[in-house]
Amino acid sequence: MDNIIVKKFGGTSLIDLNRVANLIKKDVEKGCNVVAVVSAVAGFTDRMAFQARQISNLNCKQELSEYDVILSAGEQISCGLLAITLQSIGVNAKSWLAWQLPIVTDDLYSESKIKTIKTDHLKRSFAEGYTVAIIAGFQGIHDNRVTTFGRGGSDISAVALAVAFNVRVCEIFTDIDGIYTADPKIVPKAHKLKSISYNEMLEMSLSGAKILHNRSVQLAMKHNIKVQVLSTFKEVEGTAVLHEKDVLERYTITGITYSTNEALVTFTNLTNTLCTLKDIAGTNIKIDMINGSSFVMSEFDVDLMKELLNKNDGYVVNNNVAKISIIGIGVMSNPEVMHRMLKVFSEKKIEMLAITASEIKISIIVQKECAEALVRDLHTELMCSTTAVCYT
């Protein structure tokens, strides 16, 4: 079937179901069949997650399995509501949950990975005259239990379905009109990119940019799926995520991101540091930056780490930190980037608590209260000034 289009609509888009339905109808009127992946409406999953965590720390597989049942409810509601909305404007749409296809995953609840997607039922549905299949994003099934892919996982569902149908483009609709050099809510002078490489987008996703799930970018890169980030509410050109060779405009700095969901853990007793790090990593806690006797992790994993270390008091946790990341191909090998970055830190008298660098990213840990102003200052210095480092 060569007339299938895969679209994904995020939670902020689904606030206006009529708008979403009419966007889909335009493709149907062009003779296309549409696979529309939907998230839960904005705020629903956060409320459910908060309520569940008021009851339990969710530190065992059985509890996480029930947690996934709770979190998956929002997408099911979105499916039904969008199907009814489409039917009301004359579009023959049908909703599908992950278990009905099925989308089969492993058993790592709340972080599950897709093994297979069956498309036979969807193809039969299209053959029977349904022109739109609405799929509950973010979820799969393992051994007759619902699993979820992690927050923002509907992006993974959409790209995976594009792979399954051998569709070369996956459209991601959101409340912004593309990918910017920084969060435009924080940096008004941030500019939109026409295109960005998979590697750069992956680093941005891992560094706090809430645009695409990092695993969806990895999947798109592996299968050469072009991801088009578009606005639900504006008919403007968005941003394409492509292989580096296909990116037309090349910037030294592609983006500056920040994340405040970080914790800096510093060991005060260095004797068993490596052994302790090994134990932490073995529990599936992600360790980000290792800097001397310190490392960075998600603040959401701190309680689990404390349980693991039990009465070990040889460490200090600092939750009042943020991670700033400067991203671009070859960023570390360009000495002017480092010079200008250090100039900003020196002028603003901001302390670096930790720093790591690679050819594509420089990440710095700072006090949380400095983060937003620092992103603006770095963006001005590196991307907006008349002598800024802009192009390779």
Amino acid at 363: S
* Of the candidates 48, 41, 37, the residue with the CA atom closest to the CA atom of residue 71: 48
CA 360 and chain centroid, separation = 18
Buried b (16+ CB within 10 A) or exposed e, 158-181: bbbbbbbbebeebbbbbebbbbbb
Are the C-beta atoms of residues 178 and 192 closer than 8 Å to each other?
A: yes
Are the C-beta atoms of residues 191 and 251 closer than 8 Å to each other?
A: no
CA angle 65–67–71, rounded 5-degree value: 120
Give backbone dihedrals phi and psi of 390, rounded to 5 degrees, phi first: -110, -40
Measured N-to-C along each axis, helices 73-88 and 44-55 cross at an angle, to the nearest 10 degrees, of 160
- Provide the annotated binding site: 8-11, 45, 75, 174-175, 180
- Provide the annotated binding site for substrate: 45, 75
- Provide the annotated binding site for ATP: 8-11, 174-175, 180
* Of the candidates 322, 331, 329, 336, the residue with the CA atom closest to the CA atom of residue 362: 331
Q: 331 to each of 93, 101, 254, 260, 390, how far by Cα in Å?
A: 47, 43, 9, 23, 11
Say which residues have a Cβ less than 8 Å from residue 348's Cβ, sequence separation at least 6: 370, 373, 374, 377
The partner residues of 7 in beta bridges, in order of sequence, read 36, 171
CA separation for the pair 208, 322 (Å, rounded): 10
CA separation for the pair 305, 303 (Å, rounded): 5
CA separation for the pair 380, 179 (Å, rounded): 18
Are the C-beta atoms of residues 175 and 182 closer than 8 Å to each other?
A: no
